[in-house]
Chain A
Amino acid sequence: MRLTPTFFIQLFNPSPQIQVRKISFVYFKNLLEYIHNFQYINNHIVPKNSNISLKKAGGVTLEDVVLELNDLHTHFFTDSGEVPAVDGVSIKLHKGEVVGIVGESGCGKSVTSLSVMQLIPKPPGKIVGGEILYKGENLAEASEKRMRKIRGNSIAMIFQEPMTSLDPLFTIGNQLIEGIRLHEKINKKEANERAIQMLHQVGIPRAKEVIDEYPHQLSGGMRQRVMIAMAMALNPEVLIADEPTTALDVTIQAQILDLMKNLNKENDTSIMLITHDLGVVSEICDRVVVMYSGQVVEEGTVREIIKDPQHPYTKGLIRSLPKLNEREQKLYSIPGTVMKPSMEQVGCRFASRCEFAFDRCFKANPELYSLGEDRKSRCFLHDEEKGVEEFANADLRS
Chain B
Amino acid sequence: MSTEEKKQQSEEIDSNPVQFHEDPEEIQAISPWRDAFRQLRKSPLAITGTVIILFFLILGIIAPFITGYGYDEQFLKDRLTPPNSDYWLGTDDVGRDIFTRIAYGARISLAVGFFAIVGALIFGTFLGIVSGYFGKWIDMLISRIFDILLAFPSILLAIAVVAILGPSLQNALIAIAIINIPIFGRLVRSKVISLREEEYILAAKAQGLKNGRIIFNHILPNSLAPIIVQATLGFGTAILEAAALGFLGLGAQPPNPEWGKMLADSRDFIQLAPWTLIFPGISIMLVVLGFNLIGDGLRDALDPKMKN
Contact = CB atoms under 8 A, between A and B. Distances in A.
Interface of A: 117, 119, 123, 147-153, 156-157, 159-161, 164-171, 178-179, 182-183, 212-214, 216-217, 227, 230
Contacts of B156: none
B182 to A, nearest CB: 26
Given A156-B206, A182-B209, A169 B222 contact: yes
A185 to B, nearest CB: 14
A41 B222 CA distance: 45
A152 B208 contact: yes
A190 B53 CA distance: 46
A170 B136 CA distance: 30
B208 A168 contact: no
Interface residues of B, number: 23
Contacts of A148: 208-210
Contacts of A213: 29
A178 B205 CA distance: 12
Contact of A179 (B28, B33, B207, B221): B207
B208 A150 contact: yes
Given A152-B207, A157-B203, 9 more contacts: A117-B206, A123-B136, A159-B203, A166-B203, A168-B32, A169-B32, A179-B207, A214-B29, A217-B29
Contact of A178 (B32, B33, B217): B217
B217 A165 contact: no
A178 B209 contact: yes
Interface stretch (B194-202, B248-256, B264-272, B283-291): B194-202
Contact of A167 (B30, B31, B205, B218): B218
B24 to A, nearest CB: 12
A152 B205 CA distance: 9
A171 B29 contact: yes
- Chain B interface helix/strand/loop/mixed: helix
B204 interface: yes
Interface of B: 28-33, 136, 198-200, 202-210, 217-218, 221-222
Contacts of A227: 203
Nearest to A113: B206
Contact of A214 (B30, B200, B206): B30
A55 to B, nearest CB: 34
B200 A165 contact: yes
B42 to A, nearest CB: 19
Nearest to B30: A214
Which 3 A-B pairs rank lowest in CB-CB distance, beginning with the nearest?
A151-B208, A152-B207, A152-B208
Contacts of A169: 32-33, 218, 221-222
B208 A119 contact: no
A72 B111 CA distance: 60
A164 B200 contact: yes
A329 B205 CA distance: 47
A168 B222 CA distance: 8
A167 B200 contact: yes
A230 B222 contact: no
B245 to A, nearest CB: 38
Contacts of B205: 117, 119, 151
B208 A149 contact: yes
Contacts of A178: 207, 209, 217
A164 B209 CA distance: 18
A284 B218 CA distance: 34
